[in-house]
Amino acid sequence: VDEIERRVEEIRSGSAKTVPGEKVMKRLRLKVRRARLPGRK
């Protein structure tokens, strides 16, 4: 039972960390694209 609870907590904490992480990655990608477009021209 303890092992299952630990895994559930890890999954919850992991999912909670990945959600804002994905948002940050999307923002970084948008910034990179905006910065590269004028640079290529």
pLDDT digits (tens, 9 = 90+) for 1-41: 788 888 878 777 666 556 666 677 777 777 776 666 665 54
| The pLDDT value given to residue 9 | 81
Which residue is it, tokens 């640079």?
39
| The pLDDT value given to residue 8 | 78
Query: Shortest CA distance to 8 belongs to which of 16, 28, 21?
Result: 16
